Amino acid sequence: MTAPVLITGVGQRVGLHLALAFLEQGVPVIGTYRREREALAGLQAEGARLYPADFCHEPSLEGLIATLRDRHPALRAIIHNASDWMKEGDAPDAEVMTRMMQVHVNAPYRLNLALAEALKAGADPVADIIHLTDYVADTGSAKHIAYAASKAALANMTLSFAKRLGPTVKVNAIAPALIRFNEHDDETYRQKALAKSVMGKEGGEAEVWHTVQYLMQSQYVTGRTLHLDGGRHLV
Ligand SMILES: NC(=O)C1=CN([C@@H]2O[C@H](COP(=O)(O)OP(=O)(O)OC[C@H]3O[C@@H](n4cnc5c(N)ncnc54)[C@H](OP(=O)(O)O)[C@@H]3O)[C@@H](O)[C@H]2O)C=CC1
Ligand SMILES: Nc1nc2c(c(=O)[nH]1)N=C([C@H](O)[C@@H](O)CO)CN2
């Protein structure tokens, strides 16, 4: 039996899609969630082990790490999906920067270091860490400065952890652009966002799933970022 895959942020959208897809394959899933959501009951019914964690609250992160180290001695992969897409003005500047760095940098950093031995124990024959970064890690964002900076830091950690944990643990990143709109996105925003790429559409959660599958079947790719952006860099 394959060792479990740990996915952060499984309550909705990409994280939920990945968790359900792994479960459908018969791969055990450990998921973290922040808010209670309807979909969590379905994941549990399918056998997922779920743990609450708010990565902006240090005791919560510490508690999660202790629980994972105690209960899960072997992991096949960790997928750092949890994310909060804050923009400047959503909170005082200091809070925006702190929260972005806590969710996108501190939590992946602490979990990778704490669970490195579990990944080596769960290697089959390799294990994987996958960071979900963002197209704007390379370009910056005028309206999501702290968010983009934190995703750039996560992209850089891909390189450092690939050096530190290889060859048993491969470490890669997936950099999406437009995967799925949010429900509150109005038509004007949607048309503007679609016009930013050659493909002119949402990539969809399945694109991320296929890329995760590709990375986890690879015995050679590490320290790399795979871009899922519909040719946004060409427009
Ligand atoms: N969707 C897109 O078009 C794009 C997505 N990406 C990246 O892909 C990944 C998946 O995107 P998407 O599915 O839209 O992500 P979401 O915005 O749906 O967030 C995923 C989950 O992260 C959790 N989360 C947020 N803040 C915290 C926190 N402080 N502690 C713990 N968990 C937290 C949320 O929990 P809760 O349920 O409690 O809110 C949520 O369920 C993300 O890393 C995102 O940055 C990059 C570019 C484009
Ligand atoms: N955590 C999240 N990060 C991002 C989201 C999101 O919904 N949650 N959405 C985007 C946008 O799709 C953007 O890429 C295009 O408008 C970016 N990051």
Q: Please give the pLDDT value at position 1.
A: 83
User: The tokens of 35 are what?
Assistant: 């808010």
Pocket lining: 13 vs ligand 1, CB cutoff 6 Å: yes
Of 216, 4, 23, whose CA–CA distance to 127 is shortest?
216
Quick one: CA torsion of 148, 153, 158, 163, rounded to 10 degrees? 160
Average pLDDT over the chain reads: 98
In CATH, what class is 5-234?
alpha beta
User: The tokens of 29 are what?
Assistant: 């899933």
Mean of pLDDT values over 142-146: 98
At a CB cut-off of 8 Å and minimum separation 6, what does 178 contact? 193, 194, 196, 197, 201, 202, 203, 229, 230, 232
Instruction: Write out pLDDT tens, residues 13-51.
Output: 999 999 999 999 999 999 999 999 999 999 999 999 999
Mean of pLDDT values over 173-185: 98
In this structure, the residue with its CA closest to atom 5 of ligand 2 is: 85
Q: Please give the pLDDT value at position 127.
A: 98
Q: Please give the pLDDT value at position 109.
A: 99
At a CB cut-off of 8 Å and minimum separation 6, what does 56 contact? 98, 99, 102, 103
Asked if the model's pLDDT at residue 188 lies above 90, the reply is yes
Q: Please give the pLDDT value at position 35.
A: 98
ipTM computed for the complex: 0.99
Chain center to CA of 215: 14
In this structure, the residue with its CA closest to atom 13 of ligand 2 is: 178
Q: How far apart are CA 198 and CA 206, in angstroms?
A: 19
**Cα-to-centroid distance, 209 and ligand 2 (Å):** 17
Residues designated as active site: 147
User: The tokens of 161 are what?
Assistant: 């952890």
Of 65, 31, 70, whose CA–CA distance to 51 is shortest?
31
Instruction: Write out pLDDT tens, residues 45-103.
Output: 999 999 999 999 999 999 999 999 999 999 999 999 999 999 999 999 999 999 999 99
Which DSSP category does 106 fall into? I
What is the β-pairing status of strands 5-8 and 169-176?
unpaired
Name the strands in the sheet holding 5-8, side by side, starting at the edge strand that comes first in the sequence: 49-52, 29-33, 5-8, 77-80, 127-132, 169-176, 225-228
Per-residue pLDDT band for 219 (boundaries 50, 70, 90) equals: very high
Q: Where are the domains of the chain?
A: 5-234
Q: How far apart are CA 195 and CA 148, in angstroms?
A: 21
Alpha-carbon torsion (104, 110, 111, 113), positive or negative: positive
pTM above 0.95, yes or no: yes
Pocket lining: 108 vs ligand 1, CB cutoff 6 Å: no
